[in-house]
Amino acid sequence: MSKSNWLFIAFILYAMHLFIFPPASSAGHLEPFKHSPFPQNNPQTPEKVELGKMLFFDRRLSGDGTMSCATCHIPELGLSDGQAISLSYPTTKNWRNSPTLINVAFSKFLFHDGRAETLEDQALFPMMSSFEMNQNLDFVEEEIRSVPEYLKRFNEVFGSDDITRERMAMAIAAFERTLISRNAPLDSYLNDNMDALSPEAKTGYEIFTGKGKCTECHYNINLSDDKFHALNVPEHPEFQTDPRVAATRRFVAKLNHYEDFRNLQEDPGRYLITKDKNDWRAFKTPTLRDIAKTGPYMHNGVFETLEDVIDFLDQGGGPGNAVLKPLHLNGAEKRALKVFMVEALSGDDIIMHTPKIP
Ligand code: HEC
Ligand code: HEC
């Protein structure tokens, strides 16, 4: 990437962090955006980003050499994979939806249950996961080391050709931090460009920040409070009883020391990490940036369309939840809300050339 591109990104980051989504009158709290997307212990360089991009697209990262990170985080699909529940290692089945990686640099917690907090930590999980890339980290280090081009690049980036999982993760994380939503009309609108939104999107904006109470949870740069809420989203009927999904569910629960894992019928969400009963079936508030590109929606992709999501929220969420109330939106209001999300939150397409893998 050229120097002017870097300056541009730096400028965008700076400009974006000035925008704090205005609260609805009923919204609880607003926190200024605090997290610098660039950690001091992993400085961003163009060479590191390029190396990270190569690794992101390299199928050597999976056990049988069939999958790269980009298999489930596809650039054209907003870095998600378009499936309700994500793809998985051959013969196994995943249990959750692949989230977008757009603006992931700004997320305080990673995964639907927030079990990782830095991109450097996160990157090794899918490689190790039996139902994702099913790779052995000692082995992948040796596989990458056997490629002269990688040796050369690790040398350039890290000052020695020592190829470790930590360095691989650092490079991948640096690449992920360049996946930024740019030029979304919302940013322009919040910067006093009143023509940035169509009249219907403006109506949707008013509902989003007012009657719809969306900004109680969707605010800040990513339209997320970085918190976990139990909306009681239904299980996906197609997958709840799928024996392979059930095996994955029991396996993850067992890894997380959930005692009754054999009888588990649903996704416990954040509870698996905290063991706090208030977190039962709570999931991270996801970013809404580029939401038009990242369906199906929710942690298990149970909703195919934004209309489905809006209907679910309008009825006050799932049975027994303590966080949402019915909104009583009429048809025109629901449509405007959708137009707002599709129009205002869509940034430029992320155009990416698949790198040449050595
Ligand atoms: C087989 C599909 C698959 C592959 C391959 C895969 N991912 Fe993912 N990714 C997912 C799913 C599914 C989740 C959500 C899992 C969860 O919440 O438990 C996820 C979550 C993430 C997140 C967290 C995003 C957020 O907003 O919380 C990041 C970052 C990420 N993946 C990066 C990567 C990287 C880097 C690689 C390659 C090393 C990779 N993924 C490979 C399916 C995949
Ligand atoms: C109490 C907090 C809260 C409120 C209020 C709220 N949301 Fe959400 N929203 C969430 C959480 C948590 C999820 C993820 C649930 C899951 O994955 O199961 C979510 C998911 C979504 C999704 C799906 C995103 C994806 O990538 O799958 C959309 C779209 C959405 N909300 C829009 C809205 C709109 C529009 C409103 C207002 C009508 C609203 N939300 C109000 C917390 C909230």
Decide whether any atom of ligand 1 lies within 6 Å of the 96 Cβ: yes
- pLDDT score, position 5: 53
- pLDDT score, position 36: 66
**CATH architecture of the domain formed by 3-176:** Orthogonal Bundle (1.10)
Q: Are 73 and 82 in contact (CB under 8 A)?
A: no
Average pLDDT (160-176) is 97
Average pLDDT (278-298) is 97
What mean pLDDT value characterizes the chain?
91
Average pLDDT (73-88) is 96
- CATH class of the domain comprising 185-344: mainly alpha
pLDDT exceeds 80 at position 47: yes
Cα–Cα nearest to 347, from 36, 31, 100, 109:
100
Q: Tell me the pLDDT band of 241, cut-offs 50, 70 and 90.
A: confident
Q: Tell me the pLDDT band of 240, cut-offs 50, 70 and 90.
A: confident
Three state DSSP letters for the chain: CCHHHHHHHHHHHHHHHHCCCCCCCCCCCCCCCCCCCCCCCCCCCHHHHHHHHHHHHCHHHCCCCCCCHHHHCEHHHCCECCCCCCCCCCCCCCCCCCCCCCCHHHCCCECCCCCECCHHHHCHHHHHCCCCCCCCHHHHHHHHHCCHHHHHHHHHHHCCCCCCHHHHHHHHHHHHCCCCCCCCHHHHHHCCCHHHCCHHHHHHHHHHHCCCCHHHCCCCCCCCCCCEECCCCCCCHHHHCCHHHHHHHHHHHHHCCCCCHHHCCCCCECHHHHCCHHHCCEEECCCCCCHHHCCCECCCCCECCHHHHHHHHHCCCCCCCCCCCCCCCCHHHHHHHHHHHHHHCCCCCCCCCCCCCC
Question: Quick one: which atom of ligand 1 is closest to the CA of 67?
Answer: 5
Decide whether any atom of ligand 1 lies within 6 Å of the 80 Cβ: no
Average pLDDT (223-239) is 96
125 Cα–ligand 1 center, Å = 8
Decide whether any atom of ligand 1 lies within 6 Å of the 60 Cβ: no
pTM above 0.85?
Answer: yes
Cα–Cα nearest to 320, from 257, 230, 244:
230
Average pLDDT (221-235) is 96
Q: Tell me the pLDDT band of 8, cut-offs 50, 70 and 90.
A: very low
Give the burial string for 73-111 (b: 16+ CB within 10 Å, else e): bbbebbbbbbbbbbbbbeebbbbbbbbbbbbbbbbbbbb
Decide whether any atom of ligand 1 lies within 6 Å of the 98 Cβ: yes
Residue of the CA atom closest to atom 6 of ligand 1 = 69
Decide whether any atom of ligand 1 lies within 6 Å of the 294 Cβ: no
Share of the chain above pLDDT 90, in %: 86
pLDDT exceeds 60 at position 16: no
For residue range 181-220, list pLDDT tens digits in order: 999 999 999 988 999 999 999 999 999 999 999 999 999 9
- pLDDT score, position 32: 41
Cα–Cα nearest to 227, from 323, 309, 311:
323
pLDDT exceeds 90 at position 21: no
Q: In the chain, where does the domain assigned CATH 1.10.760.10 lie?
A: 3-176, 185-344
